[in-house]
Amino acid sequence: MYIAIAGNIGSGKTTLTEILAERLGYKPLYEDSDNPYIGDFYEDMNRWSFNLQIYFLGKRLRQALDIRESRENLIQDRTIYEDAHIFAANLHESGLMATRDYETYMEVFELSKGLVRTPDLLIYLKASVPTLVSQIQRRGRAYEMSIQEDYLQRLNTRYDHWIEHIYRGKTLVIDVDKNDFILDPKIIDRIIGMIETGLKPEK
């Protein structure tokens, strides 16, 4: 079984991945947080957007190949789809990634898609900007302190569009504003119940 967790910056993906991996006995697969471009990117998005996204795409593709070959139960923190449909697309639309860079990026992404296994269940952590800002501040990563609220809102808009109109796999949407699983661990039991229901074969 392969579960993926999607969501904006600060939505709680890594925390939920850790908790569910332990509770369900799945192997966790985490996003590479050591991207050498990330600090530079938040200081100068125009200059570093392409470098940042290509690095993430390469790491995500390597993980996708491992997922494809694995026979274990897996839970993944963020998918390769989000890099393209959310982050790269938003950077291009906002004028922060040049068109030729974006087209090059998407060409590589399209070549990669055929190698990617679709999750059996995608959990989307939907959160408002105030919730995202609160959780970003709570975890205190220095390079994230300069993230603007309008940037987070644009990402939220793209996430909602992607879930509603582009992604074709089975999804489970968790409203993080109303279900703070970090402050209220009992919510995890409800999420696990929803996961088990979502993974049942359709009649």
Task: Give the residue numbers marked as catalytic.
Answer: 77
Q: Is the dihedral of CA 63, 64, 65, 70 positive or negative?
A: positive
List, in order, residues 6 or more apart from 22 with CB less than 8 Å away. Answer: none
Among the listed residues 42, 13, 12, the one whose alpha carbon sits nearest the alpha carbon of residue 145: 42
Spatial distance between the Cα atoms of 17 and 24, rounded to a whole number of angstroms: 10
- Binning the chain into helix, strand and coil, the percentages to the nearest 5 are 60, 10, 30
C-alpha neighbours within 13 Å on the C-beta side of residue 7: 30
The enclosing H or E element of 138 equals helix 129-139
